[in-house]
Amino acid sequence: MTTKVRKGQWPGNLERVEFSRRFRNGFVDPAFRSEDVAIGKLEAIAWDAYRDGRKAPFTRPAGRGYTDPKYELSVEWIENSERLKQAQKVWADPTTKTRALVVCGSPRNDGTCPGEISKTFRLAGMVSEVLAEEKVEVDFLDLSLVTSDYGRHIHPCKGCVSTAMPLCHWPCSCYPNHALNQVNDWMAEIYERWVAAHAVVIVTPTHWYSTSSPLKLMIDRLVCADGGNPDPTSTQGKDPAKAKKIELDGWDFPKHLDRRAYGLVVHGDVAGIEGTRRALSDWLDWMGLVDAGDQARLDRYIGYFEPYATSHDTLDRDLAVQAETRNVARAVARVTRALRAGELKTETETLPRPRPK
Count of positions (residues) in the chain: 357
Predicted confidence at residue 351, as pLDDT, reads 74
Alpha helix ranges (H) inside 134-177: 145-148
Residue type present at position 90: V
Specify if 55 maps to a domain: no
Predicted confidence at residue 345, as pLDDT, reads 72
Stretches where the chain sits below pLDDT 50 are: none
Does residue 296 contact residue 199 with C-beta atoms inside 8 Å? no
Predicted confidence at residue 348, as pLDDT, reads 55
Q: Residue 140 pairs with which residues in a beta bridge?
A: 102
Count up the domains in the chain and report the number. 1
Q: How far does CA 238 lie from the centroid of its chain?
A: 21
Answer yes or no: pTM beyond 0.85: yes
Specify the CATH number for the domain of residue 205.
3.40.50.360
Predicted confidence at residue 10, as pLDDT, reads 97
Predicted confidence at residue 306, as pLDDT, reads 96
Predicted confidence at residue 18, as pLDDT, reads 98
Specify if 256 maps to a domain: yes
Specify if 128 maps to a domain: yes
- What gap in Å lies between CA 328 and CA 325, rounded to an integer? 5
Predicted confidence at residue 157, as pLDDT, reads 98
Range of the domain at 298: 79-341
Pairing of strands 137-142, 99-104: parallel
- What gap in Å lies between CA 121 and CA 242, rounded to an integer? 44
Cβ neighbors of 145 (< 8 A, separation 6 or more) are 109, 152, 186
Sheet strands (E) in 166-260: 199-205
- What gap in Å lies between CA 120 and CA 90, rounded to an integer? 30
Please report how many Cα atoms fall inside a 13 Å half-sphere around the Cα of residue 293, on the Cβ side. Answer: 14
Predicted confidence at residue 183, as pLDDT, reads 98
Specify if 288 maps to a domain: yes
Specify if 141 maps to a domain: yes
Q: Residue 266 pairs with which residues in a beta bridge?
A: 204, 299
Specify if 298 maps to a domain: yes
Specify if 8 maps to a domain: no
Taking CA atoms, 69 is separated from 66, 199, 260, in Å, by: 5, 35, 32
Predicted confidence at residue 346, as pLDDT, reads 64
DSSP code at position 231: -
Specify if 41 maps to a domain: no
Predicted confidence at residue 68, as pLDDT, reads 98
Cβ neighbors of 59 (< 8 A, separation 6 or more) are 72, 73, 74, 75
Sheet strands (E) in the chain: 59-61, 72-74, 99-104, 137-142, 199-205, 261-268, 290-291, 297-301
DSSP reduced 3-state for 234: helix
